[in-house]
Amino acid sequence: MIRTIATLALIMLTTSNAMTQSSFSETGISAIDEYLRQVVEQTYVPGIVAIVTNERGVIYSGAFGNKDVRRDRAMTTDTIFRIASMTKPITSVAVMMLVEAGHVGLDEPISNYIPDLAGKDVFETFNPQDKSFTSRPANSEITVRHLLTHTSGLGYSFSNEILFQLMGGGPPRASVTSYPLLHDPGTRWTYGENTRVLGSLVEAVSGESLDNFLRERIFDPLGMIDTAYLVPIEKRDRVTTTHTKTTRGLAEAPNPEGPIGGAPRGDGGLLSTAADYSKFMRMFLNEGRGPDGVRLLGAGSIDHMGRNQLGELRVELQPAADASRARPFPQGAGRDGFGLGFQITGSHSNADMRSPGSMSWAGILNTEFWIDPERGIGAVLLMQYLPFYDETALDTLNGFEERVYRHLE
């Protein structure tokens, strides 16, 4: 059979791409398995699910320990987790879809879309004795870009002392937007309620509920069949329980008898599986395309989301205002930047860790992921306990990451 030059070139290119795709040998897979198995056997972590994917599909998957300790139910690779703030990158993609469509401007004031956020004040003084404070007008309006990069001045009560003292005894989902900003927009990086506001932006601009928008525009096209704000009754036995670290070890909280999940929020609340989240990560490894080449975002938007947007600013270490929920975070503070919805890894010299330019974030119940475009992989590590970023959770994340890169071929 005679082949044209173009056809031969395509075959050579395809063969080259296949040869350069990241993968693991059986020895590498066994090494990762053994490490995660030891974590469950030798620490108080009750269960773990981990996945590594390249642009074509999953190249490592493992489940260890129990998803329900009291009932002695084993963790499985399709176990459903509360991914908490790993919701944020998904909401950020939804916002970028509206930006691409010309319905939202990155540098437009958020008050153009949500008028209640116009003219915010900034904390000037705070008296911890009587919880009184003074404020002044902010130097500028909050923009959509500020919200995507966590530079708006909005915070969270669990990681800011002022907000914790003002809100610590209040409703668990009370909004910080009723208080002044922690700093002028664009002047510092502070982790906060930014993406909850972005969820409201998606609803205001699209005219759809957030859960419908995410399902129709992201989950369905990517085949994320187990990702939702409410778990269907037929899937509830796949949901892991949660744990909280106490002086006597981990205390397990059984799943409720009723519905598992809650009201949609842009900054949290989704439940998902490692396999589903790997499909979301593959969209970034494929420049905005999903299965069968369906395009969700343009390559330019994907590139923009993965580029540092902070200029000379850097991600700042967030304090443990509520140590029962989180220890100081994140790793990379003082070094890393932030893109549009993702922490962006800065320069470092450790060959056994993710590449500079990698995109990542996490959830408060110690769910973690990163996307490494340079090495062509994405990885998910799911646990389900508080506090976030405790020493064992960090050791587990770093040990998993080191073994991934040590054995990546």
What value, to the nearest 5°, has the Cα angle with vertex 343 and ends 342 and 346? 140
Report d(CA 215, CA 218) in Å as an integer. 6
Catalytic residues: 85, 88, 191
Report d(CA 95, CA 115) in Å as an integer. 18
Beta-sheet strands, E only, within 83-230? 121-127, 132-137
Q: What letter does residue 23 receive in the DSSP assignment? A: -
Token pair listed for 33: 């398995």
What residue spans of 1-152 are helical by DSSP H?
5-20, 26-42, 87-100, 144-149
Q: What are phi and psi of 382, to 5 degrees?
A: -115, 120
Residue whose entry in the numeric block shows the structure tokens 């340079």: 374
CA nearest to 62, candidates 78, 45, 46: 78
**CB-based contact 290:280 (threshold 8 Å):** no
Amino acid at 345: T
What value, to the nearest 5°, has the Cα angle with vertex 92 and ends 89 and 97? 130
What residue spans of 236-368 are helical by DSSP H?
274-285, 299-305
Token pair listed for 297: 């975002």
Beta-strand pair 121-127/132-137: antiparallel
**Sign of the C-alpha dihedral computed for residues 224, 227, 230 and 234 taken in this order:** positive
**CB-based contact 383:47 (threshold 8 Å):** yes
Beta-strand pair 242-246/385-386: parallel
110 membership: H or E segment, kind and range: none
Report d(CA 308, CA 182) in Å as an integer. 22
> How many Cβ atoms are within 10 Å of 107's Cβ, its own excluded?
8
283 membership: H or E segment, kind and range: helix 274-285
Q: What pairs with residue 81 in β-bridges? A: 272
Report d(CA 395, CA 211) in Å as an integer. 34
